[in-house]
Amino acid sequence: MANRGGFSNKLGFILAAAGSAVGLGNIWKFPFEVGNGGGAAFVFMYLGFCFLLCFPVMVTEIAIGRKTQLNPVGAFKALGYNNWKFIGLLGIASGVIILSFYNVIAGWAFGYFFEMATGNFEIGKNFGPFVANVTKVGLYAILFMVLTAFIVSRGVSGGIEKAARLLMPALIIMILCLVGYSLTLPNAMTGLKFYLFPNFSAINGATLGGALRQAFFSLSLGMGALITYGSYVSKKDNIVSSAAFITLTDVGIAFIAGLMMFPLVSYSTQGNMSDMEGGAGLIFATLPGVFETLGPLLGIIVGAFFFLLLSFAALTSTVSLLEVPVAYVVDEFKIRRSNAVILVAIVVFLFGLPSLLGNGAVDFFTNNFALPFGSDSSATGYSSDFLSFVAKIADTLLLFGGLAISIFAGHVWKKHNLDEEISFGFENYKTSLVRKLINLGVTIICPLVLFLLLVVVLLSNFAGIDVFTMF
Ligand code: PHE
């Protein structure tokens, strides 16, 4: 087999995987989902899902990848379950779909960095015209894709890992500085209260489904991103502790992003949290105005700093999203990495055109893509643009992928094979308590709970039936 490359050590893997996990999902999406889902009530559900359902799936994905040292499709074939390679194919399709719209939003963040750096505080009020300006956002999206492609083409240790080693620590330092700063603003406490005191009456089928989707999306699960990254992990490394680090980093950064965002929001609404801008606008429309009040110099510094942070977070995620189809093409069609990267990047970019055009530029892609029943967990309410539509489809595919992976591991591949792979790098695994938890997860809890919740999500988003309000 050709040399596929690999992470240089455990830390390299953890940083790259945490880089995949931490992204727009944590800093851009998590706060507005929280805002819509009842503040802390949503946070509780989200945390529960991350540790209870997502953690065993994460360990399983990494184990399948490391065992086979292949991409998600090749992995199921190599294990001898040709019929199950549909999980891998579905994962690669989900990756392509997610990257196609994710890159558009990453381009907005990147564009905002330049706007802030040049002191354009008006951009918040002009968010609508900005995203409808295809030449501008198209250019930023191309730039972002090129950056992503460049990193992925440099290979696993020389590209993906190196970028994560640089960007992740920078991101953590930047976000901590911003939290410290935002907590000093007037009305910060009102924002925190909203964030940290639960309103359980806001829980319904849509918010529950939203929290679950957010957990899978945020941890990059259900599409084989971690099968792919796992395929570059050494047999000496402990998968369980790596997965624990990745989960804690991701959840921790989402939580900290909330600590940063809600005081900023509360400051900008003078403590009236119900005036909060919904959906995409929470960051892009609200924050430039907040930064403006800091005065020209400080405003430019903090504003540019913030959107650079958001771009860094997005970049380590787009890298992992691109790596999944690239690994597939390299492994299965024996195409050189650099050529595979160019090919996949172009295909994904073209796939993303409707998402790029559907924000005001082209009426057709802006207005015709509502879900059949607009019971929508995002704060935008009834969104009808192509990007929101396809994002929701992709989220749901991840849940399906997670369900299929847990059924596969727990009932097809079987526990003892999973146990054996995890034992490499974790000598006492077979007698440990965590083994019981992981096995219980993949055999019973994940298949059962994910199935039930998937039904709830499908009913509420695609059929307009909210199971919770039926009783
Ligand atoms: N986890 C990333 C985020 O939160 C998005 C992502 C999803 C990346 C799936 C890879 C795979 O932004």
Residues with C-beta less than 6 Å from any ligand 1 atom: 20-21, 23-26, 98, 217-218, 220, 223, 225, 317, 320-321
pLDDT at 220 over 80: yes
Which pLDDT does position 373 carry in this prediction?
57
CA of 5 to the centre of ligand 1 (A): 23
Contact 41, 377 (CB under 8 A): no
Examine residue 232 and state whether it is found in any structural domain, yes or no.
yes
Classify residue 89 by burial, with Cβ atoms within 10 Å: 0-12, 13-18, 19+: middle
Examine residue 83 and state whether it is found in any structural domain, yes or no.
yes
Confidence of residue 241 (pLDDT cuts 50, 70, 90): very high
Atom index in ligand 1 nearest the CA of residue 321 equals: 10
SS3 for 198?
A: strand
Residue nearest to atom 6 of ligand 1 (CA): 220
pLDDT digit string, tens, across residues 29-55: 898 888 878 788 899 999 999 999 999
pLDDT at 378 over 80: no
In the numeric block, the tokens 């040399």 are attached to 3
Which pLDDT does position 380 carry in this prediction?
39
The CATH number of whichever domain residue 200 belongs to comes to 1.10.4160.10
Pocket mutation for ligand 1, best pick of 27, 217, 311 (most atoms within 8 Å of C-beta) = 217
CA of 219 to the centre of ligand 1 (A): 6
Residue 427 region, left (φ>0) first, then alpha (ψ -120 to 50), else beta?
alpha
CA of 458 to the centre of ligand 1 (A): 21
389 vs 69, which has greater pLDDT?
69
What percentage of the chain carries pLDDT values higher than 70? 96
Confidence of residue 376 (pLDDT cuts 50, 70, 90): very low
pTM: 0.94
CA of 418 to the centre of ligand 1 (A): 25
pLDDT at 307 over 60: yes
In the numeric block, the tokens 């909330």 are attached to 258
Examine residue 416 and state whether it is found in any structural domain, yes or no.
no
Cα 375 to Cα 125, 390, 395: the distances in Å are 28, 15, 15
Token code pair at residue 63: 């184990």
Atom index in ligand 1 nearest the CA of residue 314 equals: 12
Confidence of residue 128 (pLDDT cuts 50, 70, 90): very high
Which pLDDT does position 377 carry in this prediction?
41
Examine residue 369 and state whether it is found in any structural domain, yes or no.
no
CA of 33 to the centre of ligand 1 (A): 15
pLDDT digit string, tens, across residues 342-368: 999 999 999 999 999 999 999 999 988
Q: Which is it for the CA torsion 404, 405, 406, 411, positive or negative?
A: positive
pLDDT at 118 over 50: yes
Which pLDDT does position 470 carry in this prediction?
62
pLDDT at 298 over 50: yes
What percentage of the chain carries pLDDT values higher than 90? 74
Residue nearest to atom 7 of ligand 1 (CA): 220
CA of 202 to the centre of ligand 1 (A): 26
pLDDT digit string, tens, across residues 435-445: 999 999 999 99
Examine residue 434 and state whether it is found in any structural domain, yes or no.
no
Domain hosting 247: range is: 2-362
Residue nearest to atom 11 of ligand 1 (CA): 220
Examine residue 408 and state whether it is found in any structural domain, yes or no.
no
Q: Please state the domain count of the chain.
A: 1
pLDDT at 379 over 60: no
CA of 320 to the centre of ligand 1 (A): 8
Examine residue 427 and state whether it is found in any structural domain, yes or no.
no
102 vs 4, which has greater pLDDT?
102
CA of 25 to the centre of ligand 1 (A): 6
Pocket mutation for ligand 1, best pick of 320, 324, 348 (most atoms within 8 Å of C-beta) = 320
